[in-house]
């Protein structure tokens, strides 16, 4: 639902004051503010009204609830296209999707988007914190991001992206039908570890979905396969414990996508051949040292082969996401299936 601009300003003012002691409200594009705000509760409304068709008048009169939210300012230059998309996203409800609870388009040139607040931050922060610990402690490493947690977050995110790509037949599809909203595939367009948020209960959620398409769709042809490739890079960030940075030179030795591509086996003509899989030695070089230490511990407990199988399943689907030809990449449903296998294999130990 639309939220008045004055409520947005009032909610974010205290956050800005406490952080900067500044009395102004900059609302920088892309900046996210934590705030307390009243908003429409779509989950409660649907639960109370079951599958009854509803009118906009009924929704506007429904009591709102107050909660901690995240408010982000985006470019409003795409006008009606953005507003229609936001109206659709309001009714997406899934545990692995960050809930959009409202927006405001009254501010000249900007739209303020209001999300549920993810109190345990984002996936990139988990990766970065473990990386910092590895660097500081060297051989006495402390594992704050174990393999089971990495598997769970990736599986959660895969479920969320699969819902965006294939909402029909899910609770999301039911909600969109209930509110008489066309149920189209939603391409995220900006999948990265910083857009995978972690809820208070430790559940991975896809955030910022649908809004990136306006920025890029006029320049790039966004497809499901585009998202899959990006998700594959996230999987390799999780596996390697390294975040992707901008390429600083053509032969940048630390540019993660190039490191991953070097892991593909090549045919006799020195051309990457997806059918040949990937080089195990190169994969071993990619793996986060902290994970390597964790796997060594499992080997000493006589369960190393099972752990190795979980890792193989994970890395295999990650490599498949990196196929140069779009047709060779898996669907998000395929990725969910393989990550579920890897997760179940691990937890069965």
- The string of pLDDT tens digits covering residues 77-118 is 655 566 667 767 776 778 999 988 888 887 777 888 888 899
**Residue 266: predicted pLDDT:** 72
**Residue 11: predicted pLDDT:** 74
Instruction: Identify whether residues 100 and 129 lie together within a single domain.
Output: no
Q: How confident is the model at residue 73 (pLDDT cuts 50, 70, 90)?
A: confident
**The token pair that represents 238 in the structure block:** 């999780």
**Residue 177: predicted pLDDT:** 47
Instruction: Identify whether residues 182 and 214 lie together within a single domain.
Output: yes
Instruction: Identify whether residues 166 and 101 lie together within a single domain.
Output: no
- Higher per-residue confidence, 73 vs 48: 73
**Residue 16: predicted pLDDT:** 52
Q: CA-CA distance, 321 to 232, in Å (whole number)?
A: 5
**Residue 205: predicted pLDDT:** 96
User: What's the structural domain count of the chain?
Assistant: 2
CATH number where 111 lies = 3.30.200.20
CATH number where 170 lies = 1.10.510.10
**Residue 94: predicted pLDDT:** 86
Instruction: Give the containing element (helix H, strand E) for 276.
Output: none
Instruction: Identify whether residues 97 and 168 lie together within a single domain.
Output: no
pLDDT, tens only, 186-223: 888 889 999 999 999 999 999 987 565 554 444 457 89
For the chain, state the CA radius of gyration: 22
| Beta strand pairing call for 196-198 and 204-206 | antiparallel
Burial class (CB in 10 A: 0-12, 13-18, 19+), 24: exposed
Last residue of a domain, one of 116, 139, 161: 116
Q: How confident is the model at residue 55 (pLDDT cuts 50, 70, 90)?
A: low
State the average pLDDT over residues 56-60.
60
Instruction: Identify whether residues 39 and 173 lie together within a single domain.
Output: no
Last residue of a domain, one of 116, 141, 158: 116
Instruction: Identify whether residues 220 and 132 lie together within a single domain.
Output: yes
Instruction: Identify whether residues 184 and 246 lie together within a single domain.
Output: yes
pLDDT, tens only, 17-49: 554 444 334 455 567 888 888 777 766 766 676
Last residue of a domain, one of 99, 116, 133: 116
- Cβ(261)–Cβ(220) below 8 Å: no
Q: Is 305 a residue whose pLDDT tops 90?
A: no
277 secondary structure, DSSP code: -
Instruction: Identify whether residues 235 and 256 lie together within a single domain.
Output: yes
Instruction: Choose among 339, 92, 326, 342: nearest CA to 228.
Output: 326
Q: CA-CA distance, 347 to 46, in Å (whole number)?
A: 35
Instruction: Identify whether residues 99 and 161 lie together within a single domain.
Output: no
The H-assigned helical ranges of the chain are: 5-20, 42-49, 56-61, 80-89, 123-137, 147-165, 171-178, 212-216, 224-240, 256-261, 280-286, 289-300, 304-321, 332-347
Instruction: Identify whether residues 27 and 140 lie together within a single domain.
Output: no
pLDDT, tens only, 250-304: 666 678 888 887 777 777 777 666 666 677 777 888 899 889 888 888 776 655 5
pLDDT, tens only, 243-264: 987 665 666 667 888 888 777 7
Return left, alpha or beta for 277; rule: phi > 0 is left, psi -120 to 50 is alpha, else beta: left
Query: Among 259-263, 320-324, 343-347, whose mean pLDDT is lowest?
Result: 259-263
Instruction: Identify whether residues 55 and 137 lie together within a single domain.
Output: no
Q: Which domain holds residue 208?
A: 123-347
Instruction: Choose among 211, 223, 206: nearest CA to 160.
Output: 206
**Residue 227: predicted pLDDT:** 94
Instruction: Choose among 227, 201, 246, 238: nearest CA to 123.
Output: 238
**Residue 276: predicted pLDDT:** 67
Instruction: Identify whether residues 74 and 214 lie together within a single domain.
Output: no
pLDDT, tens only, 133-144: 877 766 556 889
Helix axes 224-240, 147-165, angle to 10 degrees: 170
């Amino acid at each position: 639902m639309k939220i008045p601009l004055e409520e947005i300003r009032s909610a974010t003012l205290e956050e800005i004051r406490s952080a900067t002691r500044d009395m102004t409200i900059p609302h920088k594009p892309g900046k996210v503010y934590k705030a307390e705000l009243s908003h429409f509760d779509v989950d409660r409304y649907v639960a109370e009204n079951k599958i009854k068709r509803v009118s906009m008048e009924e929704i506007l009169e429904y009591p709102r609830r107050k909660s901690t939210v995240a408010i982000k300012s985006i470019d409003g230059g795409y006008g009606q296209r953005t507003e229609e998309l936001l109206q659709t996203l309001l009714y997406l409800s899934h545990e692995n999707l960050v809930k959009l609870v409202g927006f405001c388009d009254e501010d000249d040139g900007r739209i303020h988007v209001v999300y549920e607040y993810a109190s345990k931050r984002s996936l990139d922060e988990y990766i970065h914190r473990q990386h910092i610990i590895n660097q500081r402690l060297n051989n006495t490493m402390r594992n704050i991001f174990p393999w089971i947690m990495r598997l769970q977050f990736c599986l959660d995110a895969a479920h969320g992206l699969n819902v965006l790509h294939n909402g029909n037949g899910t609770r999301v599809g039911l909600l969109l039908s209930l509110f008489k909203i066309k149920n189209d595939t939603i391409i995220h367009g900006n999948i990265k570890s910083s857009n995978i948020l972690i809820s208070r209960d430790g559940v991975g959620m896809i955030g910022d979905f649908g809004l990136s398409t306006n920025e890029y769709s006029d320049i790039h042809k966004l497809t499901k396969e585009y998202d899959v490739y990006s998700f594959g890079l996230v999987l390799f960030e999780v596996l390697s414990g390294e975040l992707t940075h901008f390429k600083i030179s053509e032969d940048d030795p630390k540019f993660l996508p190039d490191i991953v591509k070097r892991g593909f086996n090549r045919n006799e003509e020195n051309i990457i051949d997806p059918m040949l899989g990937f080089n195990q030695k190169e994969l071993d070089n990619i793996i986060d040292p902290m994970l390597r230490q964790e796997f060594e511990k499992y080997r000493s407990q006589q369960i190393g082969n099972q752990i190795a199988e979980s890792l193989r399943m994970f890395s295999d689907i990650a490599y498949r996401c990196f196929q140069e030809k779009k047709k060779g990449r898996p669907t998000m449903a395929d990725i969910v299936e393989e990550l579920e296998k890897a997760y179940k294999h691990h937890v069965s130990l």
